[in-house]
Structure 1
Amino acid sequence: MRRTLLSVLLTACLAASPVAFAQDAVPATPAAIAAQALDHLDAGQYAQVEQLFGTQMAAAVPEDKLKSVWESLPGMVGAATGRGEAQTTEQNGATLVTIPLHFEKGEMLAKFAFDGEGKIVGFLIQPAPTAEAVPPVAADAPFTEQDVSVGDGERALPGTLAMPKGDGQAPAKLVPAVVLVHGSGPQDRDETIGPNRPFLDIARGLAAQGIAVLRYEKRTKARPQDFASGEFTIDDETTNDAVLAVEALRHVQGVDPDHIFVLGHSQGGMMAPRIAAVSGHVDGLILLAAPSRSLLDIVIEQNRRLAALNDGKIDDAERAAIAALTDQVRQARDPQTAATTATLLGQPAGYWRSVDAVNPVAEAAQVKLPMLILQGARDIQVVDADWQNWREAFHSDPKVTFKLYESLNHLGITGEGDGSLAEYQQPGHVDASLIQDVAEWIKAH
């Protein structure tokens, strides 16, 4: 089965998807419309589903593309076994409906966004957060974990501090500390993607080696209501809370306030230099799978790559879908488009223009901090072009260290062969050598 435009939306690194439906006999509620759309998909009635599309989305995701994407799911997560109860919320002037999808080998979420006329203007299928509880810290572990807050008042974000032990359960000396900054999309403190929890692995791995680690719920996950107006930037989404997290660590007893680092993954790595610049209290940066180019360009590139992944060709339907996506990028970049207008992936144009204004390489050069730049050679989202940009800019800087891992994917997890979205559904752990490299680098700085 060929991978298509919509296939990229199965990764939790994208926040929403511009797939729309419309229908002749529209049920009364968004939840009912969403359920009916899923019924049509289950029955293989793709033409009927396509009748639900708005004009723009019909061009982006025609009947054959829906069929390709929907029928690719069993190959990743097995046969469907049922659905959960729909949940409806309001966000950014749209009605959101989330329906759990149960499969033999995993859980997925179908997410729909409706406009004021009851039309589906967004459709996303993504791995559901794992239902398994986070395993407790072993009693004999060399660190403890405790709940903390990032920020103050009702807008504070819940987080977890992993703190090395010392004599009497307290650090014997001041320890270095790290703030973990998430990739794009709503993310929990463990950066849960399918059965994998990269930030849990990194936090506990570093804490076991004497480094304090703060991880927290991303604002888009914990407080989506803070974005209801549609007027927000990438700094509202990422930078400002990371700065608060750095400040929180500086006041933790036992933490060395002069040795606090930021480890950013994916979009978090792209924003790490800005976080350091705004904070003024960051001693070094660790960039894991960090884009060095505009995310708007990368989204188009990802979809082209995935469309041609199996046979090296892009068919007419895929070409039309990519053209529609490219037009959404153009619209988002157009200063004449109102800032609150929903564009690419359902996000406001103003948000995307703030993303487009980020130049991670230039901002990293300006902060002049030590950096450890990490990349998996099997990463299909942040690719060699980004890695080479970082290397070209900083190859002669003695403060910058590069590590390329031949077998790692975007999550820092080991695999074999070509990278794929399907492996995000396979349980694994962040590579121990990567965590060891991070720990040694922090201790050396």
Structure 2
Amino acid sequence: MDTRAAPEPVKAQFVSLLKFFSMKIILSILLTLCWHCSMSQNSVMGIWEGILKLPQQELKLIFTFNEKNGHSTALLNVPQQSPISIPADSVNFNSQEAYARFKKFKIEFSGTLINDTTISGTFLQGASFPIILIKTDKIAQAEIPARSQTPKPPFPYKVKEIDFYNADKSIHYAGTLTCPDDKTRLEKYPAVLLISGSGPQNRDEEIFGHKPFAIIADYLTRKGMVVLRVDDRGVGKTTGTFAGSTTLDFMHDAMAAFDFLKQQPQVNKKYMGIIGHSEGGMIAEMMGAKRSDVDFIILLAAPGIRNIDLMAAQNVAIFKSKGVSAAAAENYGNLFKLMCTGILQAKTAEEAEENTVKNIIEWNAPVAVKKELHFESLDTIRLFASSFVNEVNTIPMRYFLAYDPMPNFKKIKSKVLALNGSKDIQVLPDPNLAGIQQGLKHLGKKKLKIQELPGLNHLFQTCKVCNLDEYVTLEESFSPLALEAMGDWLQQQNIITP
């Protein structure tokens, strides 16, 4: 097993491949590491923790090895990201060495027992990352602030657990429907479907204990709306498989949910809309272009430019937030677009890797920039190219990268409110709001409103440092400023009453 430390440009991949959605972050792969092991020595049993060192960031990983019913088991915790323990998948052990492969995420781990309290290991995902695990007595969980905004019963409205199927009965969806408590049962209300951002999300779009969709649903239902929120495919009580699915697949899921909402007797079919956050905003754009029964759309940090351009700008902003120089970040943004374009044009994985190597070699960046990003040797370039292609050259990512919202914008006839936080470094407000304004200008001022909300990040939290690491530490889950912006606009459009 190669135990060399990863060269810096390969390490940078963990930042560079951030998609713009609400936390589809390459680092989140670490949360899904799984173990299933066959151990022959009790010395490996117990709790082990170590620090995975990434560019400008360190993550604590905690592994717990045990035996249950004659079988070896293991759990992984990443306390900075989640309190949840992740169970094992497949691992082999002997008296001195441990090897684990995580096929779904193209990850491998190998470790050697140095003594009773130390494992020297390597984390591999296209590139290798050394990690030392030290035996400890207990798991030290990161302190997650209270989520005081999360709605708590009793509620002044009806809450109903619902389920439904898509047209071909291949997926069984589950979610929550909230509705004003009408004693006469004769009233019909405006209705809205909430569509979550990227990554496997439950109906509350829960992340780090934040439940923004529960907060939005509570706010709008109190305003007199029926609100539907649904677990993503393969999440919670919804069946189906998330891995390998494209944004188009998720749009079909949202279409099925909208059809279900439309069938509810308390819904006024003239005033039905969708609210999409991040990738959910992309889905809302796609749906709005296809359906004439969508009266209104609220876009929360949605793409207004080509995704390949959006991601390049995102990479620049995130690199800067991680301490990379402005020159290096800007130059890497240009390289990122070149590499992604070359991958999209390739017909095979081999051609994609060749194109990526060629683009890096021919990249017209200052020597100081290449040195800062460690693009200095051919071996380093090839290692990075292999890792980069491994992550980008997938069906879901290729579909996402190729997305251009402009054709959809031209077909949308619904009323549209587009919101973006001024401190969003995943979907930068200036280019994306400008793109939405340009693409939807045919709607006119009465039907279109573009609004940048001061001081809010990608999750619409009031931020302080305004980087990715702050998502978990902020107590606020969803700014009242954003809630009021939605409520005020819905009143202005006569969808709800004051």
CA distance in 1, matches of 2:29, 2:203: 28
Amino acid across the alignment from 1:288: L
- The CA deviation string for residues 203-256 of structure 1, in whole angstroms up to 9 with x for no partner, is 11111111111111112535686366x5x53211x2101111110011112111
| Match of residue 101, structure 1, among 63, 77, 81 | 77
Report the Cα offset of residue 180 of structure 1.
0.7
Letter of the 1:167 counterpart:
K
- Give the length in aligned residue pairs: 382
Cα distance in 1 between the residues matched to 2:106 and 2:276: 39
Aligned AA for 2:301? A
Corresponding residue of 2:55: 68
Query: Counterparts of 1:213-292 in structure 2 under 5 Å?
Result: 213-219=227-233, 221=235, 226=241, 230=244, 232-236=245-249, 238-292=250-304
User: Contact 1:4 / 1:303 at 8 angstroms: preserved in 2?
Assistant: no
1:190-211, Cα deviation, whole Å (9 max, x unpaired): 1111121111111111111111
Q: Which amino acid aligns with 1:248?
A: F
5+ residue gaps in structure 2?
A: 1-10, 39-43, 67-72, 89-100, 109-123, 128-141, 353-386
CA gap 1:308/1:162 in 2 versus in 1, 3 angstroms: same
* Residue 423 (str. 1) matches residue 438 (str. 2): no
Superposition deviation, residue 388 in structure 1? 2.0
Question: How far off its partner does 1:32 sit?
Answer: 5.7
> Any conservation in 2 of the 1:128–1:193 contact (CA below 8 Å)?
no
Q: Does 1:337 align with 2:337?
A: no
1:201 and 2:218 aligned? no
Match of 2:103 among 102, 108, 114: 114
The answer (yes or no) to whether the contact 2:63–2:74 under 8 Å persists in 1 is: no
Structure-1 separation of matches of 2:217 and 2:156:
13
- Structure 1: how far apart are the matches of 2:29 and 2:15? 12
Over 3 Å counting, the alpha-carbon distance change for 1:201 and 1:332 in structure 2 is: farther
Whole-angstrom CA distance in 1 between matches of 2:162 and 2:144: 20
1:85-129 deviation line (CA, Å, top 9, x unaligned) = 79xxxxxxxxxx995425389637789843799855479xxx999
C-alpha distance 419-208 of structure 1, shift in aligned 2 (>3 A): same
1:25 counterpart residue number? none
| Residues 49 and 62 in structure 2, CA contact (< 8 A), matched pair in contact too | no
2:489 to 418, 434, 441: 441
Residues 211 and 271 from structure 1, CA distance in 2 versus in 1: closer, same or farther, beyond 3 angstroms?
Answer: same
- Secondary structure at the residue paired with 1:277? helix
Alignment check: 8 A CA contact 1:129 1:193 kept: no
Q: 3-state DSSP class of the match of 1:308?
A: helix
Change (3 A) 1:282 1:336: same
Contact 1:18 1:122 in 2 (8 A): no
DSSP-derived class of the 1:219 partner = coil
Change (3 A) 1:14 1:115: closer
| Aligned residue in 1 for 2:458 | 410
Aligned pair partner of 1:138 in 136, 142, 153: 153
Normalising by the residue count of structure 1, what TM-score does the alignment of the two structures yield?
0.70
Query: 1:184 touches 1:266 (CA, 8 Å); kept in 2?
Result: yes
* Counterparts of 1:321 and 1:115, CA distance in 2: 28
Q: Deviations over 1:397-418 (max 9, x none)?
A: 43101222102111112223x4
Percent sequence identity over aligned pairs: 23
Greater share of helix: 1
Contact 1:82 1:101 (C-alpha < 8 Å) held by counterparts:
yes
Question: Which stretch of structure 1 is more off in the superposition, 350-359 or 156-165?
Answer: 350-359
Computing the radius of gyration from Cα coordinates, the structure with the larger value is 2
Q: Structure 1 pair 100/137, CA: closer, same or farther in 2 (3 Å)?
A: same
Change (3 A) 1:278 1:289: same
CA distance in 1: counterparts of 2:254 and 2:401, whole angstroms = 20
Question: Aligned ranges for residues 23-422 of structure 1 at < 5 Å?
Answer: 31=36, 42=50, 66-68=53-55, 71=58, 73=59, 82-83=62-63, 100-103=76-79, 107=83, 113-114=102-103, 119=108, 120-121=124-125, 137-149=152-164, 151=166, 153=169, 155-167=171-183, 170=185, 172-219=186-233, 221=235, 226=241, 230=244, 232-236=245-249, 238-309=250-321, 311=323, 313=325, 329-337=340-348, 346=391, 349-383=394-428, 384-394=430-440, 396-416=444-464, 418-422=465-469
Of the structure 1 ranges 175-184 and 277-286, higher mean CA displacement relative to structure 2 is found in 277-286
Query: What is the letter of the counterpart of residue 147 of structure 1?
Result: I
Kindly state the Cα deviation for residue 7 of structure 1 after the two structures are TM-superposed.
4.5
Inter-CA distance 356–12: structure 2 relative to 1 (3 Å threshold): closer
* SS of alignment partner, residue 302 of structure 2: coil
Q: Is the 8 A contact 2:197 2:280 kept in 1?
A: yes
> Whole-Å Cα distance in 2 between the matches of residues 221 and 347 of structure 1?
24
Rounded to whole Å, the distance in 1 between the matches of 2:348 and 2:217 is 41
8 Å contact kept, 1:265–1:290: yes
- Going from structure 1 to structure 2, the CA distance change for 1:327 and 1:287 (only over 3 Å counts) comes to same
Structure 1: runs of 5 or more not aligned: 21-28, 45-65, 74-79, 87-96
Residue aligning to 1:51: none
* 1:310-354 Cα deviation digits (max 9, x unpaired): 5561698x899879966762454125137xx99767465333343
C-alpha displacement of 1:292: 1.3
CA contact (8 A) 1:243 1:279 kept: no
Amino acid at match of 1:385: P
2:107, 2:460 → 1: CA distance? 41
Q: Displacement, 1:381?
A: 0.6
**Structure 1 pair 187/386, CA: closer, same or farther in 2 (3 Å)?**
same
- CA 1:99–1:437 in 2, change beyond 3 Å: closer, same or farther? same
Q: Contact 1:174–1:256 (CA<8 Å) still a contact in 2?
A: yes
Aligned partners of 1:19 and 1:121 also within 8 Å: no
Greater Cα offset, 286-295 or 429-438? 429-438
Q: Distance in 1 between matches of 2:125 and 2:195?
A: 29
State TM-score, norm by structure 2.
0.64
The corresponding residue for 1:14 is 24
The verdict on how the C-alpha distance between 1:18 and 1:147 changes in structure 2, with shifts beyond 3 A counting, is closer
> 2:187 is paired with a residue of what secondary structure?
coil
